[in-house]
Chains A and B, each alone.
Chain A
Amino acid sequence: MKDFIIPTMDPKDDRDMGTPARSGAMVTLTIDGFEVTVPEGTSVMRAAAELDIQVPKLCATDNLEAFGSCRLCVVEIEGRRGTPASCTTPVAEGMAVHTQSKKVRKIRNGVMELYISDHPLDCLTCSANGDCELQDMAGAVGLRDVRYEAPKTGGLANHFEARDTSGEANPEWLPKDDSNPYFSYDPSKCIVCNRCVRACEEVQGTFALTIEGRGFDSRVSAGGALDDFLSSDCVSCGACVQACPTATLQEKSVIEMGTPDRSVITTCAYCGVGCSFKAEMQGDELVRMVPYKHGKANRGHSCVKGRFAYGYAHHSDRILNPMIRDSVDEPWREVSWDEALTFAANRMRGLQETYGQKSIGVITSSRCTNEETYLVQKLTRSVFGNNNTDTCARVCHSPTGYGLGQTFGASAGTQDFDSVEQTDVVVVIGANPTDGHPVFASRLKKRLRAGAKLIVIDPRRIDLVKSAHIEAAHHLPLRPGTNVAVVTALAYTIVTEGLFDEEYIRTRCDWDEFQDYAEFVSNPRHSPEETAALTGIDPEALRAAARLYATGGNGAIYYGLGVTEHSQGSTTVMGIANLAMLTGNIGRPGVGVNPLRGQNNVQGSCDMGSFPHELPGYRHVKNADVREMFEAVWGTPIDPEPGLRIPNMLDAAVDGTFKGLYCQGEDILQSDPDTKHVAAGLAAMECVIVHDLFLNETANYAHVFLPGSTFLEKDGTFTNAERRINRVREVMKPLNGYADWEVTQLLANAMGADWNYTHPAQIMDEIAATTPSFAGVDYAVLEEKGSVQWPCNEAHPDGTPLMHVDGFVRGKGRLMITEYVATDERTGPRFPLLLTTGRILSQYNVGAQTRRTQNTVWHAEDQLEIHPHDAETRGVNEGDWVRLASRAGETALRAKLTDRVSPGVVYTTFHHPDTQANVITTDFSDWATNCPEYKVTAVQVSPSNGPTDWQETYNAQAERSRRILPAAE
């Protein structure tokens, strides 16, 4: 009996349904006599696939709209003439479809014969052998012979032979394009099905590919006539490779290794989008990473990092043996795990004896799993006996935690990524999604192409402002450091023009608080006109943007580090929350406040109690009831006083009261501001334990190095920016011998603890038992549902895609007064320009991973973007070395002239340690959280001859401290 409706697909089932799913009223039809009920708008092809009837197809695939070009999918429909294509024909009530008949067989056979006549018959040696839809279809239609021949008059009528038998070159033949490091394009195998072109448009939104020429001459082309893939606009997302049914677009790893034989579903370890992937394997070797179509964050899409940049896992720089040394001037000595752990434990305990219980601490990683992070903070709270734990989220999204906690009562974004599909007005503030969160950007761009409006508030003209088929309605290029003034001016406009949602505010917020707030914000000093001198924004444009957000339908705000990394980062987050509350844009699909998280597990590391003042689940250590709950489970007392934050640890180290640090998966020397101060802090410590994949910059000052494992080598979970808890699965055994959670456990036990976890699932059980928002989470649930968004508990057993639906977590939403305070980092005669920092697509954070992949072809060094006007007055030309100096220090890098930045503003990335952009950044920080002010530094730029003395001394020191003694026999 095949008459059934399939509401949701089995997560393990990722077969290609031919055309995208639809929703709407249900329609019943019969296919080959079997009844099936599907939503209206569904194609006949997809309806058949629901019944497990596969209609042959070539140009259709279910993440692209049907195209109807190959005619392989023809069917017969009772009462209709001819043989319609099943991919482009929508179902109708009572329709009777036949997928097989003499007539359609003949047509399909003819179609295949034509295709194969222009295709090389080298299947056995083809890289797609066994993974080629053309091959499958030839089999499915029963193609047995090809009757076409080369014309007797000579020459070739095909695209795949380079020369004819007389040696004459075939003008139709094109050579392979191997310019992209990860995939190749072999035009001789192309069937011009257009799937790649459509994938680049519809899925990725880059429009890098076109079909050039017509009929027999048509071919796929990347960029213009002289371009190859690398020089075109292609961003190497892999969508076209994924879509290609033949070997034309093929991963080079598959060409080298052959097709995979098993696959494991896991989660990308790069950014906060948290894309799901299938790691496709041969034994324990990774053949390729393929975006997983049931991944709820990415819906089958990927970016260059997650899709291709995993080569660092086997890079020769990876350290696989533990190492120790007495002082940082000595070379490293490779030792056994036992020796390293005993050495580390004795030193740490010794420091506590000499300098007190609070003289040591930990830094947890936003790259490691929830389970690992939980253990590291447990190590400090339960084994060290203090609260000196912090995480690199300190330096990126700590203001989000504080600001959203104060206003809404929950330190997290309010939506899921699917929500963007219902948004009418998107506001992007201080974020650059196409580079930082590429898969989300693709989903956003898709929505924008469908008509949603976009407002960009950013000092730089980011790609979203204007790119293929997308143009922002408003770009407000504010002066770095004036976020609060801009956000408050938006609120001024909304309140004084009466655009706020009174009904919403009366029911969801405190009306009295609103009165205070309205009085504050309506003061003319907050008007766009008054603040224009400060912010540099045209008042009319600002007013228009405010009106659009307040009245344009569902308004959603997405923001990034351009908001948080300021001395008023927390205030801006509150200001953003205010805007959403004022306009009633919280609590339903399509709206909300959404922080775009930098690293993969920023959300998780915050959730897991990495901050020195709060236990897992954002509960302050001062609360006795919370402490008691953990004390009962851990069997040790918990210090009721907050510990040190990262900048405080470094200060205390310089003061001599903080002496030992266990730093897991973070490179604070490269990523934290004011490098010289960080270096001084590290140098003052007597035991620095670095637990990482590589000898990172921080390790230059370390005494113990514990080798880490990659995300491919361990089980666990990551929590992405939408609070989604995704599984990470071990696809190969750790090259270093232990998963990171095991290393932490070994260290804890060496220091006298008695931990006996044998699998991360047990750690998650402990998290669930102690943390109400995780109460319903365990590995069985994740196995069954694929992923869940916290809170997941008795009240929300399936998790919570949207927060604050019937009211705010804290009860009433709180409108906060957001007074603008100018940063003290001001320009002046010595430092007349403002430097702001960011990142680019192909590199990730400090680049430790991506620099060790072929992604470097896109970004071999950090460059300084400078407006041509500013460059000219300084005698700086494109590509010149320039000296970049601030009050904190100076560095040198190459200049890139562009009007993406306004005059007066310069911009760089911080992916390469040689550049040391953080030598420049100062130690100003957010008033509430000490999140450093990376985004504003007053600088001067002048011509230079090359690297500064500091860069050279630094490199020499780094070189020296990376020496490793050959292992003793």
Chain B
Amino acid sequence: MSPEKMIYMANQIATFFKSQPGTNQAEMVANHLRDFWDPRMLRKICDHVAGGGEGLDDLAVRAVRMIP
């Protein structure tokens, strides 16, 4: 998957959970990613965040950091 597409998808998810009530939106995003993304996609986005996370929504970055 192109990095642009991955970033786009992660940001879409972050945008949804940002609108949800509560204080644990990052956790909601992380859970969504864990529930629906296959490990190679998770690895890719974790690497991307490790490398600075360019283009990723702040909420998405915080969420990805919660994924070991």
Contact = CB atoms under 8 A, between A and B. Distances in A.
B35 A927 contact: no
Nearest to A650: B1
Contacts, number: 62
A144 B4 CA distance: 85
A557 to B, nearest CB: 22
A928 interface: yes
A652 B1 contact: yes
A367 B9 CA distance: 29
B22 to A, nearest CB: 9
B40 A657 contact: yes
A648 B38 contact: yes
Given A817-B19, A927-B12, A651 B36 contact: no
Nearest to A654: B1
A652 B9 CA distance: 15
Contacts of A930: 9
Interface stretch (A184-192, A225-233, A636-644, A660-668): A636-644
Given A642-B37, A644-B38, A928 B21 contact: no
Contacts of B36: 613, 642, 645, 928-929
A923 interface: yes
A655 interface: yes
Contacts of A929: 36
A212 interface: no
A817 B38 contact: no
Contacts of A387: 38
Interface in B1-46: 1-2, 5, 9, 12-13, 15-16, 19-21, 32, 34-41
Given A613-B35, A652-B1, A817 B20 contact: yes
A655 B9 contact: no
Given A613-B35, A643-B38, A657-B40, A928 B5 contact: no
B12 A567 contact: yes
Interface of A: 358, 387-388, 513, 516, 567, 571, 612-613, 620, 622, 641-645, 648, 651-652, 654-655, 657, 816-819, 821, 923, 925, 927-930
Given A652-B40, A927-B13, A642 B35 contact: yes
A71 B32 CA distance: 69
B33 to A, nearest CB: 10
30 contacts: A358-B38, A358-B39, A388-B38, A513-B21, A516-B21, A571-B16, A613-B35, A620-B35, A622-B34, A622-B35, A642-B37, A642-B38, A645-B36, A648-B37, A648-B38, A648-B41, A651-B2, A652-B38, A817-B19, A817-B20, A817-B21, A819-B15, A819-B19, A821-B16, A923-B5, A925-B9, A927-B13, A927-B15, A928-B32, A928-B36
A573 to B, nearest CB: 13
Contact of A648 (B1, B15, B16, B34): B1
B37 to A, nearest CB: 7
Contacts of A816: 20
A516 B9 CA distance: 27
Q: Does more than half of chain B's interface fall in helix, strand or loop, or is it mixed? A: helix
Interface string B50-62: 0000000000000
Contacts of A648: 1, 37-38, 41
The 5 closest A-B pairs by CB, nearest first: A651-B1, A927-B12, A819-B19, A516-B21, A644-B38
Interface residues of B, number: 20
Contacts of B40: 358, 652, 657
Contacts of B5: 651, 923
Nearest to A361: B38
A654 B37 CA distance: 17
A641 B41 CA distance: 12
Nearest to A924: B8
Contacts of A644: 38, 41
Contact of A612 (B19, B34, B38): B38
Contacts of A571: 16
Given A642-B35, A642-B38, A928-B32, 20 more contacts: A358-B38, A387-B38, A513-B21, A567-B12, A641-B39, A644-B41, A645-B36, A648-B37, A648-B38, A654-B1, A816-B20, A817-B19, A818-B19, A819-B19, A821-B12, A923-B5, A925-B9, A927-B12, A928-B16, A928-B36
Contacts of B21: 513, 516, 817
B19 A928 contact: no
B31 to A, nearest CB: 10
Contacts of B34: 622
A612 B39 CA distance: 12
A516 B20 CA distance: 10
A503 B31 CA distance: 33
Contacts of B39: 358, 641
B36 to A, nearest CB: 6
A817 B21 CA distance: 8
A641 B67 CA distance: 13
Nearest to A657: B40
A513 B22 CA distance: 11
A928 B20 contact: no
A360 to B, nearest CB: 13
A929 B37 CA distance: 10
A443 to B, nearest CB: 36
A655 B5 CA distance: 13
A861 B40 CA distance: 41
A237 B9 CA distance: 44
Contacts of A645: 36
B40 to A, nearest CB: 6
Contacts of B15: 819, 821, 927
B39 to A, nearest CB: 5
Contacts of A613: 35-36
Contacts of A652: 1, 38, 40
